[in-house]
Amino acid sequence: MCNLYANVTAQEEMRRLFAVPPARDRLGNAAPQPAIFPRHDAPVVRLTPEGAREMLAMQWGFALPQVSKRTGRPILPKAVTNARDDRLAASPFWRDSFETRRCLAPASAFCEPKGRAPAVYHWFGLTAETREARAPFAMAAIWRRWRGEMRGEAIDLEQYAIITTRPNPLVARVHPARMPVILDPDAHETWLTGSAEAAQRLLRPYPEARMRELRRGEGAREDRPGAP
């Protein structure tokens, strides 16, 4: 999966879709996001310590500390945005979050670029009644709290990463390796509250027949004009 997706779903609609009461909506006045990049803040739905659903903004990408090969000094941490489904249980980087801190990442489209100079951006989403409609969905994700240094400042923030799996035939024509795990609404509760084994069974490609290519073009924003 590319490091780019969109979420233009209205805030009230997100609360309804993900069963989040207004009192536990911590987004403030959330604007539509036609282009979400790594290190950007975007909505997620998770459980409170009491087991209730809440919606809030987190930074996309788990920070991975790095040092300069030339000086050996710390540099800007890498944002690891995607976690492979076949490494969640085995990798120490992901395991604890997968077992104890799963969340939903609301979206209306995700992007896979192809080629260079210029790249063509292929945006995918769910089938809808009209060409212009953007059906909302949730991607499987995990989260954590991270404390460290970024650009010379002490940082204490919450971050999320999106789970990827092998692509279905529609996405594989553009990106033959990975696509995000899209969850049906009846799987949201299992992803948030179920055992690691139950959650692992949800990690599979979304059916091609229920998806479509929304548009393709040179712009890295989903709301820009383009084919198809």
pLDDT, one tens digit per residue, over 86-123 is 999 999 999 999 999 999 999 999 999 988 878 899 99
pTM higher than 0.85 for the full model?
A: yes
Percent of the chain with pLDDT over 90: 79
Average pLDDT, the chain: 93
Start-to-end Cα distance in the chain: 20
Q: What pLDDT digit, counting tens, does each position of 121-139 carry?
A: 999 999 998 988 999 999 9
H or E element, residue 142: strand 137-150
Question: Given phi > 0 = left and psi -120 to 50 = alpha, else beta, which region is 72?
Answer: left
Please report which confidence band the pLDDT of residue 221 belongs to, taking 50, 70 and 90 as the band edges: confident
Q: Are 162 and 105 in contact (CB under 8 A)?
A: yes
